[in-house]
Amino acid sequence: MELYESLFIIRPSVSDEETNALIEKMKSVADKTGAQFIKSENWGRKKLAYEVRRERKGTYVYFYFKAPNNTVGELEHAYRLEDNIIKFLTVHLEKELVPRRTVEAPSEEFTGGRIYQSHSRRQSHAQSGIAIHAQRNARGYSGVGGQSPL
């Protein structure tokens, strides 16, 4: 059995009851081929990055499961036949996803934070860039082909 992730997007015009029924239908398609679901999440309605089948929003659904090789073909076939699914992607994973680490409380010794450059230092970098361009122009550097205009 191999690990897979599958994400599909349902039309936003579909009601919540129909969305839940469609998710259960897709789960049953995978279950019939011997898939074992590790995680199944409904991520809700989100704005799409670009228009897909004249839709600007969609309901995202995520599956994380172990299954034999033939499951992906059956599942994607079911995705294609369903008119309310506008986009899908299934990925084979080489190894299991690592669970997120919990954030530890900072110790008293560590004050944390990022070190920012002062404005004067950034300004000096800009001024040095101007000085380099002035030196090149004084030498007659054309910038094309690395040859001087002489």
What are the tokens at 96? 């299991």
Per-residue pLDDT tens listing for the chain (150 residues)? 899 999 999 999 999 999 999 999 999 999 999 999 999 999 999 999 999 999 999 999 999 999 999 999 999 999 999 999 999 999 999 887 766 666 665 555 545 555 555 555 555 555 555 555 555 666 565 555 555 555
pTM value is 0.64
Is 6 a member of any domain? yes
- 3-class secondary structure, 17: helix
Query: Where in the sequence is the domain holding 21, given as residue range(s)?
Result: 2-93
Is 86 a member of any domain? yes
Burial class (CB in 10 A: 0-12, 13-18, 19+), 67: buried
Q: State the pLDDT at residue 95.
A: 82
Nearest to 40, CA basis, from 55, 29, 51: 29
Please work out, in degrees rounded to the nearest 5, the angle formed at the alpha carbon of residue 147 by the alpha carbons of 141 and 150: 80
Is 14 a member of any domain? yes
Radius of gyration of the chain from its Cα atoms, rounded to whole angstroms: 28
Is 46 a member of any domain? yes
